[in-house]
């Protein structure tokens, strides 16, 4: 059954915006850090209008020539491209460690399943998201006549409802097999206690030796400790946009205390990179808009044995 107008309105606008950013980079960078122009499939023209409505005040203030131009100069542009590249690189590096399951938590319009057909021959992929966003994605695939690989499993779940384990298992997830979890662009939308409960769940979901890649914002921005700084000003701009989208940022973490927090939750932090570290690692792909993201970070942690 086609989605109701209310359900369509509930589709994540931020998920569409980040998908559009990946496409802008893929289309315009001379040597893109990743090839993902899948917003062309996932973001319908009416959904583009929905994103545009959220961005319009800033587009007008800055006199942007087009939405693509605006997105390319957005403070989150580099972070969105690089966190994906960071995570996929980490996944490819660790595949030989018996990782057979890849779980996209808050998958949005991630297109891994179609961008890497050869990977889909060795991985079971689980896309977890809220039902409306997930249904919209499936409808776009159907409308466009794009086949869903048989080992891609859509799992509808709400992280605030603590039903992740049950939902994953019902979707075919094997608790006895190692997994790589990707949780990009999501922690900032969830209350802190929900994030911490999620961190605690990983060693309950998969055997030790699996991984979690996740992005987060530095919580000094939320406390206002850096008020007035360039980083804070960029954050204020994005904050207004996500609030207009109805998806406010509510949680950040302190990079200094993150390792201990994760350790208490059964995870060992391996890497935690800011925008400068990411630029140093990946370069800019010849894309002059790939400026160090001022407030986003991306981290990789290993799942410890359950104790
Ligand atoms: C900014 S988008 C990021 C999407 C994707 N990870 C990416 O980087 O392209 C945030 C995603 O988190 C999902 N999300 C937000 N709150 C959630 C919740 N409580 N439970 C499950 N998914 C949630 C949204 O529906 C959306 O798809």
Tell me the mean pLDDT in the region 175-200: 97
pLDDT of residue 227: 84
CA pair distance 167, 164, nearest whole angstrom: 5
Per-residue pLDDT tens digits for 63-77: 999 999 999 999 999
The values of phi and psi at residue 3, to 5°, are -70, 145
CA pair distance 78, 73, nearest whole angstrom: 9
pLDDT of residue 265: 97
Per DSSP, the three-state class of 307 is coil
Query: Residue 279 burial (CB < 10 Å; 0-12/13-18/19+)?
Result: middle
The pick from 108, 167, 188 for probing ligand 1's pocket by mutation, whose C-beta has the most ligand atoms within 8 angstroms, reads 108
Relative to the CA of 22, which ligand 1 atom is closest? Answer: 9
Q: Please check whether residue 114 is in contact with residue 35, taking contact to mean a CB–CB distance below 8 angstroms.
A: no
Tokens of 251: 């949680």
Please check the confidence at residue 48 and state whether its pLDDT lies above 90.
yes
Q: Please check whether residue 187 is in contact with residue 278, taking contact to mean a CB–CB distance below 8 angstroms.
A: no
Please check the confidence at residue 138 and state whether its pLDDT lies above 90.
yes
User: For all residues of the chain together, what is the average pLDDT?
Assistant: 94
Which residue lies with its CA nearest to atom 23 of ligand 1? 106
Q: Which residues pair with 267 in a beta bridge?
A: 303
Q: How far is the CA of 187 from the centre of ligand 1 (A)?
A: 9
Count how many residues are written for the chain. 307
pLDDT of residue 305: 87
Homologous superfamily of the 82-303 domain (CATH): Vaccinia Virus protein VP39 (3.40.50.150)
Q: What angle do CA 151, 302, 152 make, to 5 degrees?
A: 10
Given the structure tokens 């899948």, which residue do they identify? 38
CA 201 to chain centre: 19
Inter-helix orientation angle 13-28/77-94, to 10°? 80
CA pair distance 236, 23, nearest whole angstrom: 25
Question: Residues lining ligand 1, judged by CB closer than 6 Å?
Answer: 12, 14-15, 18-19, 106-110, 129-130, 133, 158-160, 184-186, 189-190
The pick from 25, 130, 134, 198 for probing ligand 1's pocket by mutation, whose C-beta has the most ligand atoms within 8 angstroms, reads 130
Q: Which residues pair with 101 in a beta bridge?
A: 124, 179
pLDDT of residue 163: 83
pLDDT of residue 188: 97
Q: How far is the CA of 136 from the centre of ligand 1 (A)?
A: 13
Query: Residue 44 burial (CB < 10 Å; 0-12/13-18/19+)?
Result: middle
Q: Where are the domains of the chain?
A: 82-303
**Per residue in 91-126, is it b (16+ CB within 10 Å) or e — as a string?**
beebeeeebebbbbbbbbbbbbbbebeebbeebbbb
Is residue 271 within a helix (H) or strand (E), and if so which, with residue range?
strand 267-273
Tell me the mean pLDDT in the region 144-148: 96
pLDDT of residue 228: 85
The values of phi and psi at residue 123, to 5°, are -120, 145
Q: Which residues pair with 187 in a beta bridge?
A: none
Please check the confidence at residue 26 and state whether its pLDDT lies above 80.
yes
């Amino acid at each position: 059954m086609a989605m109701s107008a209310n359900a369509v309105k509930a589709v994540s606008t931020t998920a569409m915006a980040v998908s559009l950013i990946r496409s802008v980079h893929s289309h315009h960078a001379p040597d893109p850090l990743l090839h993902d122009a899948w917003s062309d499939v996932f973001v319908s023209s009416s959904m583009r209008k929905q994103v545009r409505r959220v961005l319009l005040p800033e587009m007008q203030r800055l006199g942007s020539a087009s939405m693509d131009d605006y997105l390319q100069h957005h403070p989150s542009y580099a972070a969105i491209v690089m966190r994906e590249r960071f995570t996929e690189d980490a996944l490819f590096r660790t595949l030989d460690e018996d990782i057979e399951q890849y779980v996209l938590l808050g998958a949005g319009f991630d297109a891994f399943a179609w961008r890497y057909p050869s990977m889909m021959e060795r991985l079971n992929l689980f896309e977890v998201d809220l039902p409306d966003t997930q249904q919209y994605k499936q409808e776009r695939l159907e409308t466009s006549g794009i086949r869903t690989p048989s080992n891609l499993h859509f799992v509808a779940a709400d992280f605030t409802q603590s039903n992740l384990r049950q939902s994953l298992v019902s979707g075919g997830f094997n608790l006895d097999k190692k997994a790589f979890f990707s949780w990009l662009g999501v922690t900032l939308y969830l209350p802190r206690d929900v994030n911490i409960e999620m961190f605690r769940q990983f060693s309950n979901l998969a055997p030790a030796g699996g991984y979690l890649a996740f992005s987060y914002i530095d919580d000094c921005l939320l406390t206002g400790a850096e008020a007035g700084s360039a980083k804070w000003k960029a954050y204020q701009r994005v904050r207004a946009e996500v609030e207009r989208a109805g998806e406010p940022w509510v949680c950040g973490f302190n990079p200094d205390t993150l390792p201990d927090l994760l350790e208490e939750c059964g995870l060992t932090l391996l890497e935690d990179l800011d925008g400068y570290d990411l630029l140093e690692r990946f370069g800019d792909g010849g894309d002059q808009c790939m400026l160090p993201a001022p407030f986003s970070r991306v981290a990789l942690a290993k799942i410890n044995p359950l104790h």
